[in-house]
Amino acid sequence: MEQHGLISKIGGLLRSGEISCTELTKKYLETAEQENGRLNAYVRLTPETALKTAAEVDRKLSAGEKLSPLAGIPMTLKDNISTSGIETTCCSKILQGYVPIYDATVWSILKQQDAVLIGKTNMDEFAMGSSCETSCFGGAKNPHNTERVAGGSSGGVASAVAGNLAAFGLGSDTGGSIRQPASFCGIVGFKPTYGAVSRYGLIAYASSFDQIGPITRSVADAALVYDAIAQYDPMDSTSSDKAAPAFSSLGKDIRGLKIGVPKEYYDGIRPDVKAALENALKVCQSLGAEIVEFSMPSIKYSLPVYYILACAEASSNLGRYDGIRYGTLTEHYADRDEMICRTRSEGFGAEVKRRILLGTYVLSAGYYDAFYKKAQNLRGTLVKAFEDAFSRCDVIAAPTVPMTAFPLNFTARDAVETYLTDICTVPVNIAGLPGISVPCGFGSDSMPVGLQLIGARFSEPALLNAAFQYEQAAGDDVFRALETGVAR
Amino acid sequence: MNYELVCGLETHVELATKTKIFCSCTTEFGGEPNTHCCPICIGLPGTLPKLNRAVVEYAVMAGLATNCEISPVSKMDRKNYVYPDLPKAYQISQYDMPLCRNGRVDLSNGRRIRLNRIHIEEDAGKLVHERGNTFVDYNRGGVPLIEIVTEPDLRSIAEVEEYVEKLQMILRYIGVSDCKMQEGSLRCDVNVSVRPAGQEAFGTRAEIKNMNSFAHMVKAIEYEYDRQVDLLMSGEEVVQETRRYDEESGCTEGMRGKEDADDYRYFREPDLVTIRITDEMRETLRAKMPEDPQKRLTRFGSDYGLPEADARLLIEHRRIADYFEAAAKGTKNPRAAANCILGQMFARLGSEAEKERFDVAVSPERLRELILLLDAGKIRMNLVKSTLEKMLDSGKPASDFLNEKDLAGLSADDLKAICEKAVAENEAAAADYRAGKGKALKAILGSVMKATRGRADPQEAERLLAELLKK
Ligand SMILES: [Zn+2]
């Protein structure tokens, strides 16, 4: 497996001495600085931290020390992952100036493995949005076409990785926030099983859905990063010790693999997207996989269940931003209530306010049973539906998004219309399953289309292997077009 | 018409764990503001709670000690409200699945106070008002609490007092809390209503929040009882509301009206997993629990012949009760051991905190040696006290002082000689006694005791003197 993926390739160059980590880091920093005006992928560059780590990696390399596969690799973190000493704002005005005093577990792991942080990347405010445009810094652009969005909410990471401003990045996926921008930008986005990666230090949007995962240029890279960060963390009670290493299991053939195709996922998707997906399924069949068609009627509840439960949790998680301990306090107020009210009115953007209000409403006395409780019950129904599905097949294949990247400012027109674009990604978060988006061609607008593969809980090794086999087989057709040239 | 008082109590008790409920910060009382804090207990963005296992164990023990059913499955919930001393804008508590249910505390008058539930939750920080500013101190934020909720079963102030005292005794006893009202580790919300005597239906209740002193609680209930009775007598209605007690005026006053009724938007805390208590865990904890203090009280009467008042004082602090039993074990004079503790040892311990620690220079084994010397007649009852004083001062065993002149035994001959001398030296008193004034003997006995520096057995000396004076 050594030869596969960008990370292994860069690692090889570093180990062979063809390039020093300091040179490599400088190159990425320069590109990031030059390109960021165009892409707005980064909201903060961290050259000092990056060059310090790079120097340390060079020292270790020359001393012949054994290094982790991620050592010296230029990477980025979404701006909702806490980095001690580095401002972390969730791209919200209310958190501007907030510098955490502790590291998120995923960042301490990567730090320990000498990964090189180039900067913090753009996102929808508090991870709420599907286009990255709710960011207080303005949206990230799609490297394939800067008139299009990079997707959301982890749009900055996807834009940085697709535009070669970082070799990989970590995003967070609450309802599709890793997979959707990866699909829009033509790269790989992987959301692991809920609990496989620690959430400690991830600034919460909706706690029972949030999941950190890698955004990379290949499945092999995703597996490598996943193996590093999928560790049991005593600081997160919902963290599990069941995660098995995935990288080493890549490369097994998928003859006889049953790929489930629930028809509801394909209803109403754009014809060119559907064509790309059908093509992808043919590639899988040519590898010996078997297509199993069935129906999952409860999929239709996914969106309301997701928006009710996620907004309920968000309304509670975001209650702490009152300007008292951190964040931007309003300037004019008469008493404490007004101080908190004005701080929140001025600090939060429209989308965040909309979700806080929705969440507060569905939890209120008198509405709780009709909305929250009902949604909780339906969540159980969906979990069960997936269990049934995985008794018929090994992985599910679905579109990641029923369309390609939208033009800029498209989503501002209609919030509900935008919510509908999450239809294929949210079921995975509701059921806590692993899901990966792999590029599978282009739409009629020449924008990338993503194939989503979904696995049973903690089936990462098999799921990533299936994605890897497809990627390898489709490689020449799909990836040549996506290759925009890095670290050659 | 006669009105009956109906009370229900919600008691918040701070658990005596070393660390907070969701992080490893210390729970120690006081400290410079915001020094017992970490990213978790000040609710920094991205932090997650981690449930302290000891908190669950202590709460289960509190449940077992009050005859509760322990829920095999329970969960934590979020209670959402905005207040600056609550760093996350929600309190992690338990709503519909408390850890313990259906317990009871029995009162001495035979009435049974039913406990609806015991649940665990976190404490908030506190606001400090200074120089016209308000500051927040989060040292107490995240300190573990249990909330013990009774049914409206209390019918008098005396019952309320006995219930809270009993609860304090039980919880201190099993070591889950020090229950110090003055330090806020035990606080009560009291629900008060009245109804005409004999009526079944409850009246409308008012809740008096945050009582942290016995005296104030009694006054608040008295005031509230009178207020509600006055209202009803004059044909008005009691309004359901939350009231606070004003210490200066001695009155309760309404805090907020019905219109802003609380809506805490409770929902399951998604950052914490389900709490499961297996039968095995429950029984292991049960086995670790000390004897029920009520049973021990009865046993102290029957096994050691202690008067109830003395037994109660010993039992109030488990460490002292254990000390007593170790000292009295196998002796013929357990009451002497109790007197040593309640007399000289207590005299040296000023505060309740010192009693709680019970840090004395004499080990229970050493006290036992002293009582065994008494049993063997090697030391007289009247010298136990002065010997113990020496032991407490020096930390040495009683046997070290046996050979001292002052403590050495007195032979019968020596005593007789001293008594004869005393009669001779107190002619007037001797004459009075012979003339029928029995009291006069005390004066002569006094000089005998003085001459022997306390070594004489006063009863023996008195008998001898009476014999001499008959002649
Ligand atoms: Zn703490």
Check CB contact under 8 Å for A319 and B49.
Answer: no
Residues of B in contact with A313 (CB under 8 A): 267, 270
Q: Report the pLDDT value the prediction gives residue B258, as an integer from 0 to 100.
A: 46
Give the minimum alpha-carbon distance from B267 to chain A in angstroms, rounded to a whole number: 8
pLDDT at position A484 over 70: no
What integer is the mean pLDDT of B3-32? Answer: 96
Q: Report the pLDDT value the prediction gives residue A486, as an integer from 0 to 100.
A: 33
* Domain edge (last residue) among B391, B407, B423: B407
Residue B438 and residue B335 share a domain: no
Indicate the pLDDT class of residue A476, thresholds 50, 70 and 90. low
Domain CATH code at residue B427: 1.10.10.410
Give the minimum alpha-carbon distance from B213 to chain A in angstroms, rounded to a whole number: 30
CA of B24 to the centre of ligand 1 (A): 6
* Domain edge (last residue) among B225, B254, B284: B284
What integer is the mean pLDDT of B14-39? Answer: 95
Give me the DSSP letters along B4-34.
Answer: EEEEEEEEEEE---SB-SSSS-B--S--STT
For residue B436, the enclosing domain spans: 412-470
Give the minimum alpha-carbon distance from A182 to chain B in angstroms, rounded to a whole number: 24
Q: Is the minimum CB–CB distance between B132 and chain A shorter than 8 Å?
A: no
Please state, rounded to an integer, the average pLDDT across all residues of chain A. 94
The torsion angles phi and psi of A171, rounded to 5 degrees, stand at -120, -175
Indicate the pLDDT class of residue A2, thresholds 50, 70 and 90. low
Indicate the pLDDT class of residue A51, thresholds 50, 70 and 90. very high
Give the minimum alpha-carbon distance from A315 to chain B in angstroms, rounded to a whole number: 9
Q: Is the minimum CB–CB distance between B263 and chain A shorter than 8 Å?
A: yes
Residue B272 and residue B191 share a domain: yes
CA of B40 to the centre of ligand 1 (A): 5
Residue B207 and residue B264 share a domain: yes
Residue B321 and residue B274 share a domain: no
Residue B245 and residue B106 share a domain: yes
* Interface mutation target, options A123, A320, A356, chain B, most CBs of B under 10 Å: A320
Residue B398 and residue B300 share a domain: yes
Residue B178 and residue B313 share a domain: no
Q: Is the minimum CB–CB distance between B42 and chain A shorter than 8 Å?
A: yes
Indicate the pLDDT class of residue B72, thresholds 50, 70 and 90. very high
Which residue in chain B is spatially nearest to A79 when comparing CA positions? B46
Distances (CA, A) of B421 to A371, B430, B444, B445: 100, 12, 10, 11
Residue B310 and residue B216 share a domain: no
Check CB contact under 8 Å for A207 and B271.
Answer: yes
Which residue in chain B is spatially nearest to A367 when comparing CA positions? B265
Digit-coded pLDDT (tens) for B365-380:
999 999 998 888 778 7
Distances (CA, A) of B368 to B297, B310, B372: 21, 18, 6
Helix (H, G, I), strand (E, B) or coil at B173: helix
Residue B224 and residue B371 share a domain: no
Q: Is B53 left (phi over 0), alpha (psi -120 to 50) or beta?
A: alpha
Range A398-429 burial, b when 16+ CB lie within 10 A, else e: bbbbbbbbbebebbeeeeeebbebbbbbbbbb
ipTM of model: 0.95
Q: Which helix (H) or strand (E) holds A64?
A: none
If one counts the domains in chain B, the total is 3
Residue B207 and residue B78 share a domain: yes
Size of interface A-B (CB pairs under 8 A): 94
The two three-digit tokens of residue B303, written as one number: 């096994």
Closest in A100, A204, A237 to B272, CB measured: A237
State how far the Cα of A296 lies from the Cα of A423, in Å rounded to an integer: 13
Q: How many residues appear in chain A? A: 488
The residues of A annotated with a catalytic role in the active site are 78, 153, 177
* Domain edge (last residue) among B385, B407, B429: B407
Closest in A201, A319, A326 to B82, CB measured: A319
The two three-digit tokens of residue B1, written as one number: 């018409």
Name every residue whose Cβ is closer than 8 Å to that of residue B284 and which is 6 or more positions away in sequence: none
Q: Where are the alpha helices (DSSP H) in B140-213?
A: 157-173
Give me the DSSP letters along A95-156.
Answer: GTT---SS--HHHHHHHHTT-EEEEEE--SGGG--SSSTTSTT-PPEETTEEEEE--SSSHH
Digit-coded pLDDT (tens) for B33-65:
999 999 999 999 999 999 999 999 999 999 999
Work out the angle at residue B424's Cα, subtended by the Cα atoms of residues B423 and B427, and round it to the nearest 5 degrees. 80
* Interface mutation target, options B267, B269, B274, chain A, most CBs of A under 10 Å: B267
Indicate the pLDDT class of residue A477, thresholds 50, 70 and 90. low
Give me the DSSP letters along A397-452.
Answer: EEESSSS-PPBTTSGGG-HHHHHHTTTTTHHHHHHT--EEEEEEEE-TTS-EEEEE
Give the minimum alpha-carbon distance from B103 to chain A in angstroms, rounded to a whole number: 29
CA of B79 to the centre of ligand 1 (A): 19
Residue B231 and residue B340 share a domain: no
Distances (CA, A) of A227 to A109, A206, A457: 11, 24, 16
Which residue in chain A is spatially nearest to B137 when comparing CA positions? A325
pLDDT at position B471 over 80: no
What global pTM score does this model have? 0.87
**Signed CA dihedral, A252, A253, A257, A262: sign only:** positive
CA of B37 to the centre of ligand 1 (A): 4
CA of A454 to the centre of ligand 1 (A): 38
User: Residue B179's beta-bridge partner residues?
Assistant: none
Residue B203 and residue B162 share a domain: yes
CA of B87 to the centre of ligand 1 (A): 12
Check CB contact under 8 Å for B46 and A325.
Answer: no
Indicate the pLDDT class of residue A348, thresholds 50, 70 and 90. very high
